[in-house]
Structure 1
Amino acid sequence: MGPGKAELLEAIMETGSISAACKAMDMSYRRAWSLVDEMNRCFKERIVVTSKGGAHGGGAEVTPYGREVLKRYREMMLATQQVAQAYMGRCKDSFVNE
């Protein structure tokens, strides 16, 4: 999981489809599908499920497990940022003022 995959999952949640999500992100459909496939293969449960088109069109949905993975990723990134800021605060005397 990284920032691009997290953003893609959020876009899928907002739009309800991989196609609309990748358009909103200015990403190729091939790249978006590749990222979704990679996430679905790397985690113990599926992150995104898709439904085929038809009279009402297809779609994609981030699974409850996928939402939990995304939530934990966001929490980890926030904690990492807070630790980095605290560390930089302790090191500020080591930097040259411009």
Structure 2
Amino acid sequence: MNIQKYLKESSSYRVSGMIRIVGPDEPFLGPGRIELMERIAATGSINKAAKEMGMSYKKAWLMVQSLNRQAETPLIVTQTGGEQGGGAQLSETAQTLIQTYRELRQRFEAFLQQETRNLLRGE
């Protein structure tokens, strides 16, 4: 179907989308969870990562629990208080998962760009 014929003349229309991996009962992975994991890796803290994202600690903690619950092995490993305080770090599996998601996102972006070209050509 030619969608272009229904649009006002403009070359600024584009096809967009988002990649999310959803489990049978709850979301597993998407842009927000990837960002949270990346910020945990950078800061060593769920709390700091949440603050950087403008998210409550509780919401971030629930996301971490969800990620760990759905994965075969824990993705975010936490350490409670002590002399140096608590902290969090990503497992190797989490780092691999982030890279795999980035690669999937690149393929998806290429698909969206092709579909935008098709849209603008009236295909």
Structure 2 runs not aligned, ≥5 long: 1-28
Partner of 1:18: 46
Question: 2-side partners of 1:77 and 1:40: how far apart?
Answer: 22
**What TM-score does the superposition give when structure 2 sets the normalisation length?**
0.74
Question: 1-side partners of 2:116 and 2:53: how far apart?
Answer: 32
Q: CA RMSD in A?
A: 1.2
How far residue 94 of structure 1 moved from its aligned partner, in angstroms, is 2.0
Greater per-residue helix proportion: 1
How far residue 37 of structure 1 moved from its aligned partner, in angstroms, is 0.4
Are positions 1:93 and 2:109 aligned together?
A: no
Runs of 4+ with deviation above 6 angstroms: none
**Structure with bigger gyration radius:** 2
- DSSP-derived class of the 1:60 partner: strand
Write the deviation string for residues 66-94 of structure 1: whole angstroms up to 9, x where unpaired. 01011101110111011110122123122
Partner of 1:4: 32
Question: 2-side partners of 1:73 and 1:45: how far apart?
Answer: 17
Question: 2-side partners of 1:94 and 1:86: how far apart?
Answer: 12
Taking CA–CA contacts closer than 8 Å with sequence separation of 6 or more, which of the two structures ends up with the larger relative contact order?
Answer: 2
Letter in 2 for 1:93: R
